[in-house]
């Protein structure tokens, strides 16, 4: 296969593919990961898995490098021991990149997330469908395509709830989410309402976000310039704006923010590569 003018040899994945492989980046769906991930780890490969197969397994770290690198501290390249590391879901990564620096300062008690998710999150075929069916799809949006569970939430929403608790190692944090697919090609947007245990005013929050790794603040009220999916597309950083006090909450305990991130980069591939880079 030719990619960016270089030739690559593609080999069939078999049980013997992992001899001498230090790091395996898996992104071929949950069933392939379940079948070959543990096998690769047994053979000494450190697997960074981008599927949902192992995310909620309590023995497998779920890592955003800027947020909880300590969760993979026991995994050592060159130790001869393989391991599995899970990459969180895109909407969780994009949300927690912005919210974690605020959580560290004032401790989130309650978080309400509404997502506006790009077609790319449903795969290349959905991007093609968006191009072909623009007339029907462009003037509409729909509830996320993941299966709805008996509790009424769809799987994408419950990923945000459960993965946040695991990544923050905080089983008490209250999280709820509504995930919506919108006619956008590549990057996700998320509106996040936060309630903190300790006071945090909006200027301090903005300063914290300006200094947060992997985050850029786009919050220009005078010219109504805030993050957009188009502006973050093909970029590594997650953009945050619309930072303001939540007037429905007393004092400085509530904030609203709006976040946009390229779900193919920071929501998937980039985060996976950053985990591998941490091992190196
Ligand atoms: C989505 N969870 O539905 C996917 C992307 N990883 O957008």
pLDDT tens digits, 134-177: 876 677 899 999 999 999 999 999 999 999 999 999 999 999 99
Write out residues with Cβ below 6 Å of ligand 1: 89-90, 117, 121-122, 156, 263, 267-268
Strand residue runs (E) in 81-133: 83-86, 108-117
Q: Whose CA is nearest to atom 7 of ligand 1?
A: 121
| Tens place of pLDDT per residue across the chain (280 aa) | 999 999 999 999 999 999 999 999 999 999 999 999 999 999 999 999 999 999 999 999 999 999 999 999 999 999 999 999 999 999 999 999 999 999 999 999 999 999 999 999 999 999 999 998 887 667 789 999 999 999 999 999 999 999 999 999 999 999 999 999 999 999 999 999 999 999 999 999 999 999 999 999 999 999 999 999 999 999 999 999 999 999 999 999 999 999 999 999 999 999 999 999 999 9
Alpha-carbon span 197 to 121, nearest angstrom: 33
Mutate-to-test residue for ligand 1 from 28, 50, 156, highest number of ligand atoms within 8 A of CB: 156
Strand residue runs (E) in the chain: 2-3, 6-7, 23-26, 46-49, 83-86, 108-117, 142-143, 174-181, 187-196, 215-217, 238-245, 254-262
Q: Which atom of ligand 1 is nearest to the CA of 90?
A: 6
Which pLDDT belongs to residue 66?
98
Alpha-carbon span 37 to 21, nearest angstrom: 13
Q: Could you give the residue numbers annotated as active site?
A: 90, 188
Please state, as a whole number, how many other Cβ atoms lie within 10 Å of the Cβ of residue 230: 12
263 Cα: distance to centroid of ligand 1 (angstroms) = 8
248 Cα: distance to centroid of ligand 1 (angstroms) = 31
Question: How many angstroms separate the Cα of 221 from the Cα of each of 5, 40, 227, 231?
Answer: 44, 51, 12, 17
Mutate-to-test residue for ligand 1 from 89, 115, 161, 163, highest number of ligand atoms within 8 A of CB: 89
Average pLDDT, the chain: 96
Which pLDDT belongs to residue 133?
82
Which pLDDT belongs to residue 139?
79
Question: How many angstroms separate the Cα of 177 from the Cα of each of 32, 136, 189, 223?
Answer: 29, 26, 13, 30
Please state, as a whole number, how many other Cβ atoms lie within 10 Å of the Cβ of residue 135: 7
Question: How many angstroms separate the Cα of 175 from the Cα of each of 73, 98, 127, 178, 213?
Answer: 27, 15, 29, 11, 23
Q: Whose CA is nearest to atom 4 of ligand 1?
A: 121
Q: Whose CA is nearest to atom 5 of ligand 1?
A: 121
Alpha-carbon span 77 to 96, nearest angstrom: 27
Q: Which atom of ligand 1 is nearest to the CA of 188?
A: 7
**How is residue 164 annotated by DSSP?**
H
- The residues with which 261 forms a beta bridge, in sequence order, are 188
């Amino acid at each position: 296969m030719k990619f960016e003018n270089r030739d690559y040899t593609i080999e069939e994945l078999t049980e013997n593919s992992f001899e001498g492989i230090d790091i395996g980046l898996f992104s071929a769906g949950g069933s392939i990961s379940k079948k070959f991930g543990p096998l690769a780890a047994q053979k000494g490969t450190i697997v960074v898995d981008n599927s949902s197969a192992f995310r909620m397994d309590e023995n497998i770290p779920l890592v955003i490098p800027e947020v909880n690198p300590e969760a993979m501290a026991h995994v050592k390249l060159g130790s001869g021991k393989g391991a599995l590391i899970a990459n969180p879901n895109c909407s969780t990564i994009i949300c927690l990149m912005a919210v974690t620096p605020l959580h560290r300062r004032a401790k989130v008690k309650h978080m309400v997330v509404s997502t506006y998710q790009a077609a790319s999150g449903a795969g290349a075929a959905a991007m093609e469908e968006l191009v072909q069916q623009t007339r029907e799809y462009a003037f509409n949006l729909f509830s996320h395509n993941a299966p709805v569970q008996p509790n009424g939430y769809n799987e994408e929403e419950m990923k945000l709830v459960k993965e946040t608790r695991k990544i923050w190692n905080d089983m008490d944090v209250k999280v709820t989410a509504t995930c919506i697919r919108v006619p956008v090609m590549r990057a996700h947007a998320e509106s996040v309402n936060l309630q903190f245990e300790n006071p945090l005013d909006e200027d301090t929050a903005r300063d914290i976000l300006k200094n947060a790794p992997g985050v850029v603040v786009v919050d220009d009220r005078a010219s109504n310039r805030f993050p957009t999916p188009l502006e973050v597309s093909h970029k590594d950083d997650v953009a945050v704006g619309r930072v303001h006090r939540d007037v429905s909450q007393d004092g400085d305990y509530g904030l609203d923010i709006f976040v946009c991130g390229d779900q193919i980069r920071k929501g998937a591939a980039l985060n996976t590569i950053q985990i591998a880079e941490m091992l190196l």
